[in-house]
């Protein structure tokens, strides 16, 4: 597939109005995407677990209008939100060529998250993928040819990528690969693909408890962080390491080797933050409590035979990952030893999920 293949030929233009609604999840990368080329093309491949309960729910109501400019209103948790408008405007500008109906309708976009807005959890992945899916549903109603689910998901992911890179991994579950990698044949830089390799039962219902260490605004945005990979002294090595780690993880997912899984996942998280610390300008998104939690997890692993591990996204919060059969003991460990490092004692229990669904 090339970008050109996502440009539709023609539409049935009789549709006057309607409404569509999707719930789309967040995702957590195991091999991290950090660094991008023009048009949100990743510098290296990534793979993520799709989450189950951390979702954005978005409804778009559309009404026909004279074609001139984009016209839309956004409501976040019931209230009109002007702050989100520039991001959506940019998104519409980027995807207009692939969705030529955008100027023909006025859109009322109503959105809310299942997780607290100020939790510091990245809502751009779930948020952008939910909008992309709604727009795809509208396009499906306008289309004169049948849009198969495969085409639908692929284009939804392609559009979501143009909104926020990692959002392209939020359409399907349970594991999604984004970025061309030799070991995964269907992989593409343009969209995420469901990981179709063998997955051992050890990873069934894998748990992710998100410890909210810092709910504040990040000091450095992902956009700036990605840019700092240009001319980064370790960029080349890092990009090639991600390719290797993805190939290794493919084998680990098949064999169910949790010790090796822990090594790759934790190393990826620390490498992501090491890239931030060695950028120019350099920055640190972890907080003292992030490190306290990491050390507690390591100590816990040493004294038990637990396979619990951590990963981080571009922030201070810690995702605690563990197999379902450890659920009881790890939740006990979290309550006894980790909650005190969370802001206001807040954490969110989630697990691997199946992807977005239309409501
Ligand atoms: O999608 P963005 O531009 O917000 O970048 C997200 C990057 C990480 O969350 C740090 C890693 C990843 O692969 O999700």
Band of residue 9 on the pLDDT scale cut at 50, 70, 90: confident
55-86 residue pLDDT tens = 999 999 999 998 789 999 999 999 999 988 99
How many A from CA of 124 to the centre of ligand 1?
9
275-288 residue pLDDT tens = 999 999 999 999 99
Q: What does the alpha-carbon distance between residue 166 and residue 220 come to, in Å, rounded to a whole number? A: 17
Overall average pLDDT of the 299-313 stretch:
97
Overall average pLDDT of the 326-341 stretch:
98
Ligand 1 atom nearest the C-alpha of 169 is: 14
Task: Say what the pTM is.
Answer: 0.96
Q: Which of 28, 31, 33 to mutate to test the pocket of ligand 1 (most atoms within 8 A of CB)?
A: 33
Measured in whole angstroms, how far is the alpha carbon of residue 6 from the centre of its chain? Answer: 21
236-277 residue pLDDT tens = 999 999 999 999 999 999 999 999 999 999 999 999 999 999
β-pair type (36-37, 318-322): unpaired
C-alpha pair distances (Å), 299 with each of 11, 213, 339, 341, 350: 60, 19, 16, 16, 23
How many A from CA of 165 to the centre of ligand 1?
7
Residue 178's closest CA among 283, 62, 268, 46? Answer: 46
Band of residue 215 on the pLDDT scale cut at 50, 70, 90: confident
C-alpha pair distances (Å), 320 with each of 202, 206, 232, 293, 346: 16, 10, 29, 10, 14
Overall average pLDDT of the 295-303 stretch:
98
Task: Please indicate whether residue 29, judged by its CB atom, sits closer than 6 Å to ligand 1.
Answer: yes
Task: Please indicate whether residue 311, judged by its CB atom, sits closer than 6 Å to ligand 1.
Answer: no
Q: What does the alpha-carbon distance between residue 220 and residue 307 come to, in Å, rounded to a whole number? A: 32
Task: Please indicate whether residue 26, judged by its CB atom, sits closer than 6 Å to ligand 1.
Answer: no
The pLDDT score that the predictor gives to residue 173 is 96
Task: Please indicate whether residue 27, judged by its CB atom, sits closer than 6 Å to ligand 1.
Answer: no
The pLDDT score that the predictor gives to residue 117 is 67
Paired residues of 112 in beta bridges: 57
Task: Please indicate whether residue 166, judged by its CB atom, sits closer than 6 Å to ligand 1.
Answer: yes
N-to-C CA span, the chain: 29
How many A from CA of 300 to the centre of ligand 1?
28
Ligand 1 atom nearest the C-alpha of 32 is: 13
How many A from CA of 177 to the centre of ligand 1?
13
pLDDT at 102 > cutoff 80: yes
| % the chain with pLDDT above 90 | 90
The pLDDT score that the predictor gives to residue 153 is 98
**DSSP category for residue 128:** H
Average per-residue pLDDT in the chain? 95
Phi then psi dihedrals of residue 34, to 5 deg: -150, 105
Task: Please indicate whether residue 313, judged by its CB atom, sits closer than 6 Å to ligand 1.
Answer: yes
pLDDT at 186 > cutoff 80: yes
Q: What does the alpha-carbon distance between residue 111 and residue 176 come to, in Å, rounded to a whole number? A: 24
How many A from CA of 314 to the centre of ligand 1?
7
Task: Please indicate whether residue 56, judged by its CB atom, sits closer than 6 Å to ligand 1.
Answer: no
Least confidently predicted of 112-116, 139-143, 316-320? 112-116
Kindly give, in sequence order, each residue whose CB lies less than 8 Å from that of residue 192, ignoring residues fewer than 6 positions away: 157, 161, 168, 169, 170, 171, 172, 176, 177, 178
Query: Counting runs of H as helices and runs of E as strands, what totals does the chain give?
Result: 8, 14
The pLDDT score that the predictor gives to residue 123 is 74
The pLDDT score that the predictor gives to residue 91 is 96
pLDDT at 107 > cutoff 80: yes
Record the tokens describing residue 244, joined without a space.
């290797």
Task: Please indicate whether residue 46, judged by its CB atom, sits closer than 6 Å to ligand 1.
Answer: yes
How many A from CA of 9 to the centre of ligand 1?
32
β-pair type (207-211, 318-322): antiparallel
Band of residue 218 on the pLDDT scale cut at 50, 70, 90: confident
Cβ(289)–Cβ(317) below 8 Å? no
Q: Which of 41, 122, 178 to mutate to test the pocket of ligand 1 (most atoms within 8 A of CB)?
A: 122
Band of residue 118 on the pLDDT scale cut at 50, 70, 90: low
130-178 residue pLDDT tens = 999 999 999 999 998 899 999 999 999 999 999 999 999 999 999 999 9
Record the tokens describing residue 160, joined without a space.
């979501």
Q: Which of 166, 168, 224, 318 to mutate to test the pocket of ligand 1 (most atoms within 8 A of CB)?
A: 166
Helix ranges (H only) for 96-229 are 124-142, 149-163, 222-227
The pLDDT score that the predictor gives to residue 164 is 93
Q: How many CA atoms lie within 13 A of 264 on its CB side?
A: 25
The pLDDT score that the predictor gives to residue 122 is 62
pLDDT at 235 > cutoff 90: yes
Ligand 1 atom nearest the C-alpha of 167 is: 1
């Amino acid at each position: 597939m090339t970008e050109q293949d996502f440009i539709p030929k023609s539409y049935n233009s009789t549709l006057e109005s309607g409404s569509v609604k999707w719930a789309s999840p967040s995702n957590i990368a195991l091999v991290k995407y950090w660094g991008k080329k023009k048009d949100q093309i990743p510098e290296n491949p990534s793979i993520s677990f799709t989450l189950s309960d951390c979702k954005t729910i978005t409804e778009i109501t559309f009404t026909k209008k004279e074609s001139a400019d984009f016209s839309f209103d956004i409501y976040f948790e019931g209230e009109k939100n002007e702050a989100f408008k520039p991001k959506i405007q940019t998104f519409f500008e980027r995807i207009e060529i692939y969705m030529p109906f955008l100027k023909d309708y006025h859109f009322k976009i109503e959105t809310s998250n299942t997780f607290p807005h100020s939790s510091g959890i990245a809502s751009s992945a779930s948020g952008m993928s939910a909008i992309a899916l709604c727009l795809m549903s509208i396009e499906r109603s306008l289309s004169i040819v049948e849009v198969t689910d495969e085409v639908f998901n692929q284009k939804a992911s392609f559009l979501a990528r143009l909104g926020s890179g990692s959002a392209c991994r939020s359409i399907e579950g349970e594991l999604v690969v984004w970025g061309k990698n030799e070991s995964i044949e269907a992989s593409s830089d343009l969209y995420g693909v469901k990981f179709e390799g063998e997955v051992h039962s050890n990873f069934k219902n894998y748990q992710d408890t998100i410890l909210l260490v810092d709910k504040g605004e990040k000091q450095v945005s992902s956009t700036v962080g990605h840019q700092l990979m240009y001319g980064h002294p370790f960029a080349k090595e890092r990009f090639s390491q991600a390719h290797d780690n993805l190939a290794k993880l493919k084998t680990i997912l098949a064999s169910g080797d949790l010790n090796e899984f822990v090594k790759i996942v934790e190393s990826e998280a620390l490498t992501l933050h090491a890239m931030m610390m060695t950028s120019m300008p350099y920055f640190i998104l972890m907080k003292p409590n992030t490190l306290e939690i990491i050390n507690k997890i390591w100590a816990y692993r040493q004294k038990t035979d637990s396979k619990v591990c951590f990963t981080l996204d571009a922030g201070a919060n810690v995702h605690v990952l563990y197999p379902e059969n450890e659920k009881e003991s790890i939740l006990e460990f979290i309550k006894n030893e980790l909650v005190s490092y969370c802001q206001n004692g807040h954490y969110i229990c989630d697990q691997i999920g199946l992807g977005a669904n239309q409501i």
